[in-house]
């Protein structure tokens, strides 16, 4: 480009948004324009090398650029790359910047904790020896349970460590060793913490374990979906789920899903009457059946059930209760 064009702010701005490295050929005045340099660095972090000295030494500008793109840290002046306070602030803004920090700082506990707090991916940049440090990794997983995935293999097979991690977020059980995923205490704690989200990740034998499944149901009754076929057909387990949420009937075995006594338990928990179901079936248009209300969600679960049978079951139950009180 001609010298005139290299001085033209509008021309340079458009060019640098398409190719940030073109800043190298821009005039001194353009390389000192904050908006233009910002556009160039947004396109290509390496363009920071060609910015005017005042911009390269502008702490606020650099931190804003790092917050947007962690790679910028790789190109900041040594003055800032060796400044622990600057790096701490950078980690708070964008933890992924840990990957571009000087190697010595990647082992700094406080720096790593700040990085993990703002970006789960930051833990991948931590040296392996730190990812094998139980005390340190417990601190890390307390701030970001996802970091458990990047703990050393030995820690992911350590029962005490795994129990601490799944108590924060049961879903991380997915990344535990096979032995720990099959551990009953680990499975129970994971299910207690995260319900169905954890139960679905457990091996078959634990999804057939009454205590593990009950722990999941206490946190989320809809976790019944991930229980074994035998437990979804177990009257006690299904009743336990229905006490928490009547919509769990959706995941009960067919035999129980059409059993009037179980339907009535679900209705009682949801506060639905037979009259409301009858009105829903007779008057609600198909276009309105997606509305979010207990009746709208529950009615499709028992679409083929004769409501008269529900009334008969209610009368039978009342009669038994009356006889029992005499």
What is the block-wise mean pLDDT of the chain (326 residues), using blocks of 10 residues? 49 67 83 90 94 96 97 96 96 94 90 87 86 89 84 95 93 96 98 97 98 98 98 97 95 94 92 85 59 75 82 76 55
What pLDDT does residue 126 have?
86
Indicate the pTM of the whole model.
0.72
End-to-end CA distance of the chain: 102
Nearest CA to 195 out of 156, 243, 236, 227 is that of 227
Nearest CA to 171 out of 198, 146, 143, 204 is that of 198
What pLDDT does residue 184 have?
97
The answer to whether 148 and 164 have CB atoms below 8 angstroms apart is no
What pLDDT does residue 199 have?
98
What pLDDT does residue 314 have?
80
What's the token pair of residue 233?
């057909």
What pLDDT does residue 10 have?
54
> Using CA atoms, how far apart are residues 289 and 283, in angstroms rounded to an integer?
11
Burial 147-180 (b: 16+ CB within 10 A, else e): bbbbbbeebbebeebbbbbbbbbbbbbebbbeeb
């Amino acid at each position: 480009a001609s010298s005139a064009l290299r001085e033209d702010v509008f021309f340079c701005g458009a060019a640098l948004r398409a190719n940030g490295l073109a800043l190298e050929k821009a005039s001194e005045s353009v390389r000192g324009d904050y908006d233009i340099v910002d556009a160039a660095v947004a396109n290509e972090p390496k363009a920071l090398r060609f910015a005017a000295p005042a911009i390269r030494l502008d702490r606020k500008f650099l931190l804003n650029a790092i917050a947007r793109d962690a790679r910028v840290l790789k190109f900041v002046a040594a003055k800032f790359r060796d400044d622990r306070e600057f790096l701490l602030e950078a980690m708070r803004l964008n933890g992924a910047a840990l990957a571009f920090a000087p190697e010595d700082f990647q082992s700094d506990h406080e720096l790593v904790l700040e990085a993990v707090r703002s970006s789960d991916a930051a833990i991948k940049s931590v040296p392996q020896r730190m990812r094998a440090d139980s005390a340190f990794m417990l601190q890390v997983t307390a701030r970001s349970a996802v970091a458990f995935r990047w703990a050393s293999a030995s820690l992911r097979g350590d029962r005490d460590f795994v129990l601490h991690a799944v108590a924060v977020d049961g879903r991380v059980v997915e990344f535990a060793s096979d032995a720990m995923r099959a551990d009953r205490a680990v499975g129970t704690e994971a299910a207690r913490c995260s319900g169905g989200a954890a139960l679905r990740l457990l091996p078959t034998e634990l999804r057939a374990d009454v205590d593990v499944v009950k722990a999941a149901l206490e946190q989320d009754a809809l976790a019944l979906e991930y229980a074994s076929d035998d437990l979804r057909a177990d009257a006690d387990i299904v009743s336990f789920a229905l006490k928490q949420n009547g919509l769990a009937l959706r995941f009960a075995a067919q035999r129980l899903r059409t059993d009037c006594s179980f339907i009535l338990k679900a209705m009682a928990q949801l506060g639905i009457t037979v009259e409301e179901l009858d009105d829903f079936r007779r008057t609600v248009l198909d276009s309105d059946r997606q509305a979010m209300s207990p009746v709208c969600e529950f009615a499709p679960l028992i679409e083929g059930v004769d409501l008269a049978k529900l009334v008969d079951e209610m009368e039978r139950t009342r009669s038994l209760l009356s006889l029992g009180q005499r």
